[in-house]
Structures are given as structure tokens and as C-alpha cells.
Structure 1
């Protein structure tokens, strides 16, 4: 009896899955065109799944091993079930391999059940609670019906009643595993996720087998000269088709939710819910059937939309509230944690672009800051010719006078902030102690454009960037050094796309901690013994998660004789200070402040000092009410530890003079 039922069940499930796959592809194709290498992506998909994706999943060893056993067992069992039972290939060897695959899948499903009993808060409930049972049904059912083929039981064992029971169990498992994979359900991520890896919007994120780090974090530029093209994303169908595919790949594991600083602060943002709302908008409907954590302060059932309806309407029911988008600090903690490699921040900035460029709807001080950037080239509205007033006594060398230098020191808009001026003075002291050949642009320097771009004002960003590119094209330098990770990031990763053949913008950019570390290793700096208290280090998001620099700042601190007391959330899991993405400007209220939470992390270490490497981190953490640890930029710590005798540094720099000259000669203006 099973010989008749099993092929019918298997091929019926495959047919329904194929119909569902066509339906899902049509949902994705509602999005805008996006050129991707289709065949190359499909060929690379296995490697991306087994290497790139699994590298992220492996951060949670429990789930990593569970996923290998369950997913690996399912893929092998499904293929062999089609061969052995669908096509009736009577092979004892294949049957035994199929039994082993179902056992692996069953063991994995036990661990899935254990993880959900009771489930962590971040995991979605509802249909996800039946997933372990469905996995067990498929594995147990397929195991039992394969026993006769393997020669363990006779062909007619159990009679027709047992055969019907087993057929029902197999049907349950097939329904979840095959039908649910393309029609919707917990297994939907298996189908959408595999294709998402193949057709990912950021192909650069994946390894090619040659080793090295593969990182892609720069925002994609908008084409502003097309009058017929909408600026930003107004409705779900305005996303590219592979962005919609990426949203559909969400496994609702809640890792992004657990890492999001805005969600923890009680602001109305949950990155998992945001992605699910995009899926709801893509298919049409409401969030009434969403079974995860809501946006803080916003109950489930209030949001809904359609593929061609506005995501953030000016009135009526919204798919997403505007304050949800403005709560994001763009720290990329969600992207870094996502096992499906979904790009949450890209989507948020795309939607912000529409609100800012098309509606002029930037909350709180956002409009004022953007107006200041347009009028004065800095967010504070200061006189652009006063950039060097703070350094009147330093006699800083100007690029306009020197024309060329080894290092172009990018000062950033911290020049208008008295606190950051101390950091800049310290950095200049360090550079002079090492006898570095450097110069500054002075009043020729404009804001890097980071804030404008994160607030969605792509036009102002591109204007500022092109002015800076034009200015820098007049001079010759080997590298750019800056103490601002936000300027560091845009100069390094986002200016290049705006360069031209006459004015290329692919610069070699260093964060000051990385450059100081080079000077230390070259023995161009000497230090006194560290006599301060205990120190912890706060990783800036735009230096760490955006650019992968975690060790250089710690190496510098160790060179000073400091033993770093690490916070529980450090490195790629560092908690954001709350200062990125224009968050202090849009100022969306929550139950607590993000920097207060970060200072709580500091207190847990018992450290007396927090070493930082970002002006915004300094400002946010120093805004925490005392008593608290002291906040010191790495440049300040290094400058304070310098020996008064700079002869050693000058001697070492002499050895590098000829190399400096060669570097300058090789510069592309």
C-alpha cells in the first residue's frame, strides 16, 4: 500500500512546492530590477551556504550543531526519499543512507525542541512552535517507511492500518517541509534563504575561496539626475527584487532584536518586526498574525500595507511608523548578527531617503542640521572659515601651502567642538613626536557628508563629497588619517563610487588608532610606564562592525602597558553608544538612553577609564550623569604617555624618510 501512496504523496508535495515557488518568485519580482549574476550566483550558492552563512551561524555553537544535523539530514533525506520512494529505486545501500539521514534529522529536531522549551523571548512563537514536531514527523515517518526497503522489516509489516498511519505522519512532515517551504511557514527561509545567498544585493560580502576578509558596508549611491526615478523607497515595490527576496528569507530567530540598541532602549524599533512588516507589505495584509516581539510601545495588529501602498503614509494605517525608521542608529549590529545575511540598514536608509528627499520629513533637529550643511558645509551652522580657530597656536601645515605630504590629516567637524579639539591636539602632538610629514586642508575641508547620508539626504551628501574630492584632487598625499570613524568610513568606502577618471576617489584611509599602531610598531614613539587605573575599550560601530578594525586600538593600549578589561559586549558585538545614524538629531524617545546602557556595561567591568576612538562616542558617553568612568580618546592616552625626549621618534622617522618620498611619488591625485 505504501508503495502506491508514497510516490503520490512525494510528487504531490513537489508539485505544490513548485506552484508555491512560482508564486513567491512573482511576489519578489514586484520589486525594481537589480542586475545580479544569475548563473554565477547559483553556482556559488553551496559555498556561500556552507562557508559564509555557516560562519555566522557558528557563533552560537548550540544552534550551529543543531542546524548541521537537522538541515543536513533533511536535505539528504529529501533527495534520497525522492529517489528511493518516489522513483522506486530498490537499493538497500541508499535505504541505509536514508535511514542515517533521518536519524540525524531527528536528533537535530530534539535540540530544536529543547531550544523552544521554553523559548527565548527573541524567538517568534505561533507556527514556529510546531516546527520541532514537523521535523520529527518527517524524520520518523520517513525512517519507518524506509525500514522495509533496507531489509530490516518485511514489505507487508504492520498491515494497511499501520500503512495509513505512517502515510498520515509522512504527509504531515511533507506538508511542512515541502509545501510550507514555498507557500509560507517556518520552513520558508530554506527556499528564500538559499536564493537570497545566490542573488544577494551585496555580492562582495561572500568569500571566493582565496581567503581574506570580505566586507561590504558602504551605502549605494542614488542616481539623482533621473527626473523620472523616485528618490528612495516609498512602497514595498520600490525595493529591488532581491531586497524583497532577502526580507522573505528571514528565519525570525531574533538575533537582530537581541542586539539592537534602540529596541533595548525601548524606542519603537525592532529590526525583526521591521523585516516582517516588509514581507507583509510585499504580499499585502496586516501584522495580526505576527508572533514575535512588537515594536516597543506599539501593539500587534496596528500595521498593514500592500505592495504598491505607501510604507509610511501621511495619514491612515501605516506599514511602518516614521519614528521606527528614525530610531535606528545604523550601527549594523542587526546585520552583523543576522544568520541569513539580511541588510536591515540599507532598507532603513532607503526609506529615510524618500521621507527626506521627497517629503522633507526629517524629525526634530534633522531639517535644521541639513539646512546648516547646505548653507555652511557643517552640521552646526558655524562659520566655515573658522575651522582652524582652535588651532591658532599650533601652526598647522596647510595642504594649500605644501601641495604634498605623506599624511593628509582629516580633522572632521569635531573642530567646532571644544571636547574634540582636545583629542585633535593630542593626535597632532603624537604625529609631531613621530616626526610625521602631515598637512591639513584647513578651511578647504568640508563635512564628510556622513550625517546627511544617514538622514537620507543623498543630494547634500553627494554635493559635499564631490567638493571634497575636487579639493583633494589638487594635492598629493600617501594616505588620509582621521580620528572620526564616520569620516573614515565614508572617505574609505563611499567616496570611491563618486570619483571620476580625472578625479579618482579611492583613497587609502586610516583611523588614527590604526596609524598610531603602525608608528608604535615602527618604534617611532616611546612611552612612559602606565600609572593610571584600569581601562576598558569601547568599540565604535563605524570602526568595528563597518570596517573590521578591532585589534589596532587594543594593540596601542597594550603598548602603553594597559591591560584592557573587556566589556561583556565588545568586538563585533559591541553595544552602540547611540550617536550614529543621526540618532541624536532625530532624538526619538524611549524608556532609557542608549549611552546610559553602555555606561552600565562599563560599570560591570569596574574600569576607571573608558578608552574611545570616536568623537561621537566621546560626546554620548560623557553625556551620562556622573559618577561614571572617565572618557579618554586613544590619542589622549598616547599623548599623555609620550616621553619628553622625542629623539627616538625622530631617529626612527629618518629611516622612513625615503619611503615617504616614494609614497608621495606614487600618489594618484
Structure 2
């Protein structure tokens, strides 16, 4: 009986799986065109799955080992089941191999079942709770029906009753594991995820092995504003590129993004996992009533609906996502960094913001005022551009307009209009002069870098500011740019290049000041007094760490000062955002608590007297926490305070020789 039923079950399931795959691909192809290397991506997929994906999965050791056993066992068992029971190749060797594969899968499924006995809050429930049973049914059924093939039991064992029971078990397991991959269900991520890795929107994320310098691709992609037919952002699900839709469909609903999201923790109406699932709902049409994970804080399940060509955000309500959900995001990339499927949440959020801002001018709270200021005065505060250097009247800063050439272009940023950040800039200038660095500033020629405009979705203002800055810098000669601001650092380093041209290239070598100071320290250009300032912890800025992979240089500088850094529980790539990125302080979406308050609690847990920071936004947000709290000091301030002037022991790292490449570092884990 089984010899007849098994081939029918297997090949019927495979046929329906193929039909489902065609249907699934059609859903993805509703999106805009996006060129990919089809064959090359498929050939690279195994390595991306086994190395790049598992590098992230392995951060949760339990599920990593479980995934290897369960997924590896299933893939091998499915192939062997088709050969042995589908085509009837009853080889004893193949039989034993199938037994081993199903035993491996069964063992992994037991660990899945254990995780689901009392699942963490971040895991989706509903259909996911049946997954362990389906895995066990598939593995156990094929194990038993393969025992005769391996010669362990006679071919006619058990009779009709057992054969019927086993056929039901096989049908259950095959339905979940095969049909679920393409028709929907917990195992859908296996099919969509594999193709997502092959045709990822940012294939450069896979360009180097993770045991070397991990590849990073975090710069936003520019809109073609001169193309009248190009969409200004994303209005509806079909406006995403097809491989973005594919990426959304790959979500495994593990909730790691949710657990790391600062806005979700603060009770603001954002849950990155729910957002991705809403995009899947919009892609296929329907409501969110079938979502079984954590909702957006303060927003019940079942009130949102959409379809591929319907608006994602409807100002009158009733669409897929509320606008305040998008504006809650700090663009910290904690979700992207943590996602085991390498989904690009932040890209999607900014794409949707672009439409709201460019098409509707719908930027909440002070957003519109800030964007108007950037257009009128080239800075978000609306200050007189000619006052950019008033704070430094006594410093006699060298100007590029006078020098025409310098080794270092010091990018001041719009912190020049903030009295607190002026202290940081003064400290950095003191350090540069102590190390005899050849530097100059643009002065009143410098414009805002455009970071805030771009994150708020105003791509037009960003590109205008960026091109002005590129045009200004093209007049001068310099080896590298140094800045205190990780946000300016990021856009100058990773987002200006796309806007350059043959006669005005914009691929700059950009250093964050902590990295540059570290080079000066290593070159022996700075000498320090003994540290007597108490205990210090270090807060990793999102745009320096997760966006650009620089974790060690700031810590090296602090160690050079004689500081034993007291690490927070969430540091390195898992650092908690200060709440200052992505225009979040401007849009100011309310929650149950403030993100900087949560970060200061992380500081208090270390017992540190001082928080070392490397970002003007982080300084402002953390100093906004009510006292008593730790002191906030930029790394440049700590270095300047410890300087022994005139006792350097080596050649400056910023001599006229060719610039040294920015060194790579390993990520710091908590």
C-alpha cells in the first residue's frame, strides 16, 4: 500500500509546490524592476546561506545548532525521500542515509518543540506553534517507512492499519514542509529566504567573508529626481522593487528586530517585525487579523488592511500602516544588524517617508520647519550661515579658501551652532594642533551634510546640499576628511559618492575623529597625563558602529588614556540607540518612556562616573536625561583634557605622505 501511496503523495505535493512557487513569484513581480545577477546569485546562494546567514543566526547558539540539525536534516531527507520513495530506488545505502537524515531532523525538531513550550514574547505564535509537530511528523513518518528499505524491518510489516497511519503522517509532514514553502505558512521563509539571499537588494553585503572585515552596505540609494517617470518614494506595496517584496516575504518572524528596536522598547508605535509582515499583507492583499506576533504598541491587531496597489499610509486612516509608525524609527539599523534573513527594514521605512515628504509634505511636528530651514539657510536650526565660525573667532582656524590645500579637511558640521558641541570642536582642534596636523576648514562655505533631510525623506534637499558641498570641495586638495559627527561621516563616506561626477568625484576618504585620534596615538604624536577621572563607559553611536563597523578605535583611544572601559550590557553591534537619529527628535512621536532615559539606565548599571561618546546627537540626547546621572564627555574632550603639550614622541599620522587606509576592526559583542 505504501509503495503506491508514497509516490502519489510526494509527487502531488511537489506539483502543488511548483504551482505555489509560480504564484509566489508573481506576487513578488508586482514590484518595480530591479536588475539582479540571476544565475550568479543562485550559484552564490549556498555560501551566503552557510556562511553569511549563519554568522548572524549563530548569535543565538541554541537556535543556531537547532537550525543546522533541523534544516540540514530536512533538506537531505527531502531529497532522499523523493529518490527512495518517490522513484522507488530502494537501495539499502540510500535507506540508511535517509534514516540518518530523518533522525537528525527529528532531533532538531525536539529542540524546536522545547523552544515553543514557553516561547519568548518576541516569537510569533499562531501557526508557528504547530511547526514542531509538523517537523516531528515528517521526520518520524519517513523514518518508519524507510526501515524496510534499510533492511531493518520486513517489507510487509505492520499491515494496512499501520500503513494508513503512516500515510497520514507523511501527508501531514509533506503538506507543511513542501506546500508551506510556497503557499504560505511557517516554512515559507525557507523558499523566499533562499532566493532573497541569491537576489538580495544589497549583494555587496556578502562580498567578503565574515571572519575578515565584514562588508557593509548601509548608504541609502539615491532617487533619480531628474526622471519624470521615476516614483518619488513608495506609496503602495507595488512601488517597492520586486526583490524588496521578496525580502519581506523571507521574514521568519523570529522577533530579533523587535527585541533590539529602541522605539518598540520605548512604547512608540513601531514594531519592525510587524511592519515587515504588514508589507507582506499588502503584497498579497488582506488584513492584519491573521498576524500572531506583538502589535505596534498602543495599536490593536485587525484594524489595518491593504492591497498591492492601495496606499500604505492613508491620512484618513484604514490603510496598512499609520504614519506615526514610520516616523517613530530612529534609523539605528539595530533591526537590520540583528535580522538573520538580512532584511533591510530601514531602506523600506525611508522609502515610505520619501513619498510622504516629497509628495504630500507630510512631515510631523517640527519636520517641515527643519526642512524649510535647510532650504533657506543650509542648516536645520535656521541660523545665519555667515555665523558658522563666530564661536571660533579666537581660534584663528585655517580656511581652505586661503590655503587651497591641506592634508586634513576638518568637517565641522552643524554642531557649530550648538554651544555644547562647540566645546567638543574646540577640544578636537586642540588635539590636532598638539599633533601638528596640517588641517583646514571650509568655514562659511560648508553646508549641512544633508543627513537629516535624507532621513526625513526629503531627497531633493539632500541632493541639493550634497552637490553644493561636492562642488565646494572639488576646488581644494586634501587627503582625507575628519569629522566629530558620525552622521556627517556616514553620508560623506557612503552616500556622496553616488552623486559625484567625472569632473567632480565624491569618493572621499573620511575618518571619524576617534579613528583619526587613534592613528595619532599609534604614531606617537600625542602624550597623555595619568588618568584620574574615575570609571568610564563608552556609548557606541549607531552611525559609527552599525552603519560603518567602527567599534575598536574609540576604545583604543580610551585605553591609551589609561581608562579601563566598563562595558554596558548592550554595546558594540548591539548598542542601544540614544534616540537621536533619523530625525526622531524632530518628529517627536510619543511613547511610554524616552529612549535616552533607557540608555542612561544601561549606563547606571555599569556604575560608571562618565559616559564617553563620539557623536553630537548622542551628547545632546544623553545630556537631556535629568540628573543625577553620569557626566557626558566626547572622546575629543577626554583626550584634550589628558594632553601633555609638546611631548610627542613620533611623527604625526597626518604628514604629507600618502594617507594611511582606515583600519578595519572586529565587532564588539556584549
Shorter-chain TM-score tier = over 0.9
Aligned to 2:656, what secondary structure does the other structure show? helix
Q: Hey, what's the Cα distance between the residues in 2 that align with 1:95 and 1:607?
A: 61
Aligned to 2:219, what secondary structure does the other structure show? coil
Q: Hey, what's the Cα distance between the residues in 2 that align with 1:613 and 1:626?
A: 21
Q: TM-score by structure 1 length?
A: 0.98
Aligned to 1:128, what secondary structure does the other structure show? helix
Aligned to 1:481, what secondary structure does the other structure show? strand
Deviation at 1:315, TM superposition (A): 1.5
Deviation at 1:663, TM superposition (A): 5.1
Match of 2:150 in 1: 150
Match of 1:478 in 2: 479
1:616 maps onto 2:612 in alignment: no
1:424-439 to structure 2, matched below 5 A, reads 424-439=425-440
Q: Hey, what's the Cα distance between the residues in 1 that align with 2:523 and 2:292?
A: 56
Aligned to 2:611, what secondary structure does the other structure show? strand
Deviation at 1:208, TM superposition (A): 4.8
When structure 1 is superposed on structure 2, of 245-254 and 311-320 the one drifting more is 311-320
Once the two structures are superposed, residues 524-579 of structure 1 have per-residue CA deviations (whole angstroms, 9 ceiling, x without a partner) of 00000000110000000000000000000000000000000000000000000000
Q: Hey, what's the Cα distance between the residues in 2 that align with 1:255 and 1:24?
A: 25
Q: Hey, what's the Cα distance between the residues in 1 that align with 2:166 and 2:436?
A: 80
Q: Hey, what's the Cα distance between the residues in 1 that align with 2:170 and 2:278?
A: 33
> Against the structure 1 CA distance between its residues 209 and 661, is the aligned structure 2 distance closer, same or farther, given a 3 Å change threshold?
closer
> Against the structure 1 CA distance between its residues 641 and 311, is the aligned structure 2 distance closer, same or farther, given a 3 Å change threshold?
same
Match of 2:664 in 1: none
5+ long unaligned stretches in structure 1: 665-669
1:320-331 to structure 2, matched below 5 A, reads 320-331=321-332
Deviation at 1:662, TM superposition (A): 4.8
Deviation at 1:316, TM superposition (A): 3.8
Deviation at 1:313, TM superposition (A): 1.2
1:392 maps onto 2:387 in alignment: no
Match of 1:524 in 2: 525
Q: Would you identify which runs of 4 or more consecutive aligned residues in structure 1 move more than 4 Å?
A: 208-211, 661-664
Q: Hey, what's the Cα distance between the residues in 2 that align with 1:356 and 1:48?
A: 36
1:332 maps onto 2:328 in alignment: no
Aligned to 1:370, what secondary structure does the other structure show? helix
Match of 1:589 in 2: 590
5+ long unaligned stretches in structure 2: 661-670
Q: Hey, what's the Cα distance between the residues in 2 that align with 1:301 and 1:91?
A: 52
* Partners of 2:559 and 2:565 within 8 A in 1: yes
1:61-100 to structure 2, matched below 5 A, reads 61-100=61-100
1:138 maps onto 2:138 in alignment: yes
> Against the structure 1 CA distance between its residues 152 and 662, is the aligned structure 2 distance closer, same or farther, given a 3 Å change threshold?
closer
> Aligned Cα RMSD in Å?
1.1
Deviation at 1:314, TM superposition (A): 2.1
Deviation at 1:209, TM superposition (A): 5.5
Q: Hey, what's the Cα distance between the residues in 2 that align with 1:367 and 1:247?
A: 30
1:501-650 to structure 2, matched below 5 A, reads 501-643=502-644, 645-648=645-648
1:408-487 to structure 2, matched below 5 A, reads 408-487=409-488
Once the two structures are superposed, residues 161-197 of structure 1 have per-residue CA deviations (whole angstroms, 9 ceiling, x without a partner) of 1000000001100010001110000000000000000
Match of 1:667 in 2: none
1:257-268 to structure 2, matched below 5 A, reads 257-268=258-269
Match of 2:665 in 1: none
Q: Hey, what's the Cα distance between the residues in 1 that align with 2:494 and 2:247?
A: 23
Match of 1:106 in 2: 106
Match of 1:660 in 2: 656
Q: Hey, what's the Cα distance between the residues in 2 that align with 1:314 and 1:532?
A: 53
Aligned to 2:290, what secondary structure does the other structure show? coil
Aligned to 1:311, what secondary structure does the other structure show? coil
* Partners of 1:48 and 1:207 within 8 A in 2: no
Aligned to 1:339, what secondary structure does the other structure show? coil
> Against the structure 1 CA distance between its residues 5 and 565, is the aligned structure 2 distance closer, same or farther, given a 3 Å change threshold?
same
Aligned to 1:652, what secondary structure does the other structure show? coil
Deviation at 1:661, TM superposition (A): 4.7
Q: Hey, what's the Cα distance between the residues in 1 that align with 2:589 and 2:648?
A: 51
Aligned to 1:648, what secondary structure does the other structure show? coil
Aligned to 1:323, what secondary structure does the other structure show? helix
